[in-house]
């Protein structure tokens, strides 16, 4: 794996654009980028042929969760069919494996112990030891994998945060030792809860290990926005510039922009899945840089909203597209009224069409972020984006 930083914001900013090259993948992925969340290897409502209709190469990054396969086919069977790439029929996609997600494999810190990490799964609570985890990694053959981590919520004590860091570092060493033969790309996990000291300690120690990048975990468990910003910046300050950084559970547009401003390159989030399950469609402007940025001034005369609830009766007779400027399959072929109908009669096609649009829309958002960094206008892009959204929310409240 090779990662190159191609542009860093001027004026002391940490937002950066880069390119991630995976051996055998044949194509580079520009960063900042989004990892599409999956359930047992594929996005919840997208088959392989629908996945291929999404923007390339941005849609090639998939987050897979090894614990989803604990009760799946035997590990020898998965290995015999060339791992997940062969089983899923996705030879060209970049699979990034990490033990937890926010849907079917939730960290359970109270049941985690010195032997392994505990997760709440659909089949109950499971304790996963480093040896069991690396057996799954070995058979799945992902392009990148992250080590086990002891993720804790924001309200735990400083002593528990220290235990979390100690365990995570010990499991990282164990996972790396078990992976010596394959030599795949490993990401060291950085934890520490809401403790600034433990976050910095963990980041410093993980940086000393032979890892290809860093997975910043443990967010989305009760920390405040102010705490998260401070912790993110303190963590990235301790990491080497030449390796990629990935963060979990920052999904809202404002959270993504916050992460990019702190120097994050990759984002793993279930935001699209949660929107789709709720019957929401993203409609906020994403092409600000390409269309509206002129002479360093961002045009904010258009109204703004993040998403619309297509279950609402107001869309029952709405024959317009979700987003006029969107060229996804859903927007090119269907109306808001049709999606409203599908949702209200409980047709799964509604979720399929919504996931196509929401994924396409959010990938365009990441493209705009990259363009803003390249032209040196990220700070302006972020400020105006947040300002525009706040203006809309204020108008709605009034």
Please state the residue numbers annotated as binding site for Zn(2+).
326, 328, 331, 357
* 33, 20 contact by CB (below 8 A): yes
Measured CA distances, 349 to 36, 44, 49, 166 (Å): 20, 12, 15, 46
User: Residue 266 — φ and ψ, nearest 5°?
Assistant: -130, 145
Residues whose CB is less than 8 angstroms from the CB of residue 4 and which lie 6 or more positions away in sequence, other chains included: 18, 19, 21
Instruction: Tell me the torsion sign for CA atoms 277, 281, 286, 287.
Output: positive
Give the Cα separation of 156 and 334 in Å (integer).
Answer: 48
Q: 383 φ, ψ to 5°? A: -60, -45
Cβ neighbours for 183, distance < 8 A, ≥ 6 positions apart: none
Q: Give the strand pairing for 307-309 and 280-282.
A: antiparallel
Q: Which residues touch 21 (CB under 8 Å, ≥6 apart)?
A: 1, 2, 3, 4, 28, 29
Cis peptide before 298 (omega within 30 of 0): no
Tell me how crowded residue 81 is: count the other CB atoms within 10 A of its CB.
13
Dihedral sign for Cα atoms in the order 314, 316, 318, 323 = positive
How many angstroms separate the first and last alpha carbons of the chain?
51
Question: What DSSP element (H or E) covers 117?
Answer: strand 117-121
Burial of 48 (0-12, 13-18, 19+ CB in 10 A): exposed
Which residues does the annotation place in the binding site?
326, 328, 331, 357
DSSP state of 67: G
Cα separations in angstroms, 221 against 178, 274, 325, 355: 30, 17, 36, 25
């Amino acid at each position: 794996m090779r990662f190159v930083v191609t542009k860093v914001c001027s004026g002391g900013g940490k937002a950066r654009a880069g390119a991630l090259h995976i051996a055998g993948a044949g194509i580079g992925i520009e960063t900042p980028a989004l990892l599409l969340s999956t359930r047992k290897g594929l996005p919840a409502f997208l088959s392989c042929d629908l996945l291929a209709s999404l923007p390339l190469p941005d849609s090639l990054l998939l987050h897979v969760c090894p614990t989803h396969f604990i009760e799946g086919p035997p590990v020898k069977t998965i290995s015999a069919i060339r791992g997940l790439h062969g089983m899923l029929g996705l030879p060209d996609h970049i699979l990034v494996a990490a033990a937890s997600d926010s849907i079917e494999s939730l960290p359970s810190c109270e049941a985690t112990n010195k032997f392994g990490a505990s997760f709440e799964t659909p089949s109950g609570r499971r304790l996963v030891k480093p040896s069991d985890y690396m057996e799954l990694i070995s058979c799945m053959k992902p392009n990148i994998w992250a080590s086990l981590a002891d993720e804790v919520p924001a309200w735990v004590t400083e002593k528990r945060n220290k235990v979390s860091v100690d365990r995570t570092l010990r499991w990282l060493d164990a996972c790396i030792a078990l992976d010596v033969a394959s030599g795949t790309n490993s990401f060291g996990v950085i934890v520490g809860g809401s403790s600034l000291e433990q976050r910095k300690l963990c980041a410093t120690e993980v940086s000393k290990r032979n890892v290809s990048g860093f997975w910043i975990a443990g967010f989305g468990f009760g920390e405040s926005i102010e705490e998260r910003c401070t912790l993110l910046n303190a963590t990235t300050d301790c990491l080497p510039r030449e390796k990629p950084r990935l963060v979990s559970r920052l999904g809202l547009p404002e959270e993504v922009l916050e992460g990019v401003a702190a120097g994050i390159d990759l984002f793993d989030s279930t935001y699209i899945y949660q929107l789709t399950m709720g019957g929401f469609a993203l409609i906020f402007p994403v092409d600000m840089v390409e269309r509206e940025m002129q002479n360093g001034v961002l045009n904010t005369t258009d109204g703004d909203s993040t998403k619309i609830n297509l279950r609402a009766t107001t869309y029952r007779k709405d024959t317009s597209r979700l987003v006029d400027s969107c060229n996804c399959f859903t927007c090119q072929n269907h109306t808001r009224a049709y999606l409203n109908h599908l949702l209200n009669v409980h047709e799964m096609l509604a979720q399929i069409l919504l996931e196509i649009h929401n994924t396409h829309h959010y990938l365009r958002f990441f493209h705009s972020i990259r363009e803003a960094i390249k032209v040196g206008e990220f700070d302006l892009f972020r400020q105006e984006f947040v300002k525009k959204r706040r203006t809309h929310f204020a108008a709605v409240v009034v």
